[in-house]
Amino acid sequence: MATLRYYRGLLTSDVPAPGLRYDQRLGLYVGLPYRYREVLEYLRSSGLRVEDRVLRPLPFPQPARTSLPLRDYQRRAVDAWEAGGGLWSSLAGQGRRWWALRPSSG
């Protein structure tokens, strides 16, 4: 079995693969994260069982849901984004976090 992880900006594996080099300090094979897909496909095609821990996000506490309504300009931005996608850019302090964390139902 091979285990892939992300550690301090590096892709790590306990099994050698193309694009990885052995790091004696870590005792692991390391490489740049852009090689992730290539390394994963190589290990799988080699017949190894792969435990992929690269994309496991760190536990992040869910914020308490609130009933604060969106401001008019936030509502217009959300409506426009839901209608056609795209990118919403706003200055600091304008409530980006609130609209991003709002329930998708509105």
Residue 57 included in any domain: no
The boundaries of the domain holding residue 25 are 2-52
pTM for the model stands at: 0.53
pLDDT given at position 24 = 96
CATH code where residue 31 lies: 3.40.1170.30
The answer to whether 90 and 77 have CB atoms below 8 angstroms apart is: yes
CA 2 to chain centroid, in Å, comes to: 21
| Average predicted confidence (pLDDT) for the chain | 81
**pLDDT tens readout for residues 40-92:** 999 999 999 999 998 776 666 666 666 667 778 777 877 877 777 666 677 77
| Predicted local confidence at residue 55, as pLDDT | 78
Examine the domain organization and report whether 8 and 48 are in the same domain: yes
User: What's 10's DSSP letter?
Assistant: E
